[in-house]
Chain A
Amino acid sequence: MTTVEVLIPVAATRIKERPLAPRLTSLVGKRIAWLDNMKANAGELLRNVAEVLRTRGHGFEMVIAAKNATAAAPDAVMAHLKTCDAVVLAISD
């Protein structure tokens, strides 16, 4: 067998594992953002999930937000989301 030494074409990254944010133990009284990616049915899905949670007694403040699916969220949207305790994102496509 003849061998050849080849360079690996995959680039290194600096991406570190990012642990999930601590989970909320309760939604009651929390400020929850519902982030719509503006594609078909995302908003409807979010509204339905929020409604289900509300009917189950999870009283929370509802913050509606949206971002264009074809680009990163603008700074203003990110700043708005940072005022919330949690964000629920629907990625419709």
Chain B
Amino acid sequence: MSDSIHLDVDTVDDEFEARGWSDGLPVVAPTRARVDAMLRCCDRAPDLELGTMPPRHGIVTPEILAINAVMAGCRPEYFPVVLAAVEAMLEPAFNLFAVQATTHPCAPCVIVNGPIARELGINARYGAFGPGARANATIGRAVRLILLNVGGAAAGVLDRSTQGQPAKYAFCIAENEAESPWPALHVERGFDSGHSTVTVTGAEGPHNLNDHVSDRADGILATLKGAMSDMGSNNAYLYGQPTIAFGPEHAAILAADGYSKDDIRRYVFDEVRLPRALWQRGGMAGMFPDLFPDEDMKPIIKCAEDLLVVVVGGFGRHSCWLPTFGDTTRAVTRLIARADGSALLSVRELL
């Protein structure tokens, strides 16, 4: 059972900020009643230990997650997504310690797939990465508050990110499966299309891929090649698993020209490369010399399979790519599940 304090209702935000318990925005006061309501959408015991969260190694329990989810403004039915996101981040392959503590600006990007994304109204269309949808905003914010209050990632303390990034406030989207010509991300990663998942990547904010004129795949691919094969991102130096989030219009053009997600991955592996002479001029040259392959051009991914491809957004000729921290953080996908491990088909099953 978590400890509590009594505060003047008019000073809750100031007190939480002063104690280092908030992200700087006003919070919903985590009263016992609100936290209990959140936990009604969780079939785990409130004090079940799910692990510890680095770098502070706070003990993760459904109750401490629910407190932070209340503060973020989550509706109780969002809680299974928050829980799955935390479970995914705690997988060793995600290397949360480094994602939290690095000077790089990465933040866990939460990508939700499956029917629960639609049930909760997680925005996958216009402005999915931006404001406007409570589910995206508050699930993403809950993850950040948990990283702060459980993981201890306060800026300049245990989060050493040189500049941070806006996505450290909230970074949650759904894939636009309805307007995608390709299999959904979770299906590609081995899950049933009728099940729901959360995928986390240690990502930078979205970098725009604007191509207004191409009506063939080669034009769109040339645009992304130009944007992605330059210095600056960690993937340019350290490989990793970046994501391309195609807008539905770009995706439709690529699919019409016969490109599958795997074809796009192979294109990126083969064509998005940095010449040795450029690589050696700056960046991290000399620090990890073994990472440059024998040939004269270095890819940004070690193999084609490492690229994540999703469809996100509404109409318009924009896509984006999300560079990541590098190869020492791997994308992790978790089923949104009941305590017994079976798939949760609808959050209504918990109500």
Q: How far is the CB of B295 from chain A (nearest CB, A)?
A: 23
A68 contact set on B, CB distance < 8 A: 288, 328
B31 and A6 within 8 A (CB): yes
* Listed residue (A1, A2, A6, A39) with the most chain B CB atoms within 10 angstroms of its CB: A6
Given A9-B64, A11-B64, A4 and B7 contact (CB-CB distance below 8 Å): yes
B53 contact set on A, CB distance < 8 A: 11
Q: How far is the CB of B39 from chain A (nearest CB, A)?
A: 11
Q: Number of contact residues on B: which range applies?
A: 35 or more
B219 contact set on A, CB distance < 8 A: none
A71 and B59 within 8 A (CB): no
A5 and B32 within 8 A (CB): yes
User: Scoring A residues 1 to 20 as 1 if CB is less than 8 Å from chain B, else 0, what string do you get?
Assistant: 11111111111111100000
| Cα A1 to Cα B9 with chains together (Å) | 8
Main SS at interface, chain A = loop
B149 and A11 within 8 A (CB): yes
B60 contact set on A, CB distance < 8 A: 11
Cross-chain contact of A70 among B8, B64, B68, B328 (Cβ < 8 A): B328
Closest to B99 in A: A70
Cross-chain contact of B35 among A7, A12, A72 (Cβ < 8 A): A7
A1 contact set on B, CB distance < 8 A: 8, 10
Closest to A3 in B: B6
A75 contact set on B, CB distance < 8 A: none
Given A38-B288, A70-B326, A8 and B5 contact (CB-CB distance below 8 Å): yes
Q: How many of chain A's residues have a CB under 8 angstroms from any CB in B?
A: 23
Given A40-B287, A70-B326, A93-B103, A5 and B57 contact (CB-CB distance below 8 Å): no
User: Scoring B residues 25 to 57 as 1 if CB is less than 8 Å from chain A, else 0, what string do you get?
Assistant: 000011110010000000000000000110011
B7 contact set on A, CB distance < 8 A: 3-4, 6
* Listed residue (A1, A38, A70) with the most chain B CB atoms within 10 angstroms of its CB: A70
Given A3-B6, A4-B29, A9 and B58 contact (CB-CB distance below 8 Å): no
| Cα A15 to Cα B57 with chains together (Å) | 8
Cross-chain contact of B102 among A4, A5, A40, A70 (Cβ < 8 A): A70
Q: How far is the CB of A48 from chain B (nearest CB, A)?
A: 17
Q: How far is the CB of B332 from chain A (nearest CB, A)?
A: 15
Q: How far is the CB of A29 from chain B (nearest CB, A)?
A: 33
Q: What are 8 A-to-B residue pairs whose CB atoms are below 8 Å?
A: A2-B8, A4-B29, A7-B3, A7-B30, A8-B4, A14-B57, A38-B288, A40-B286
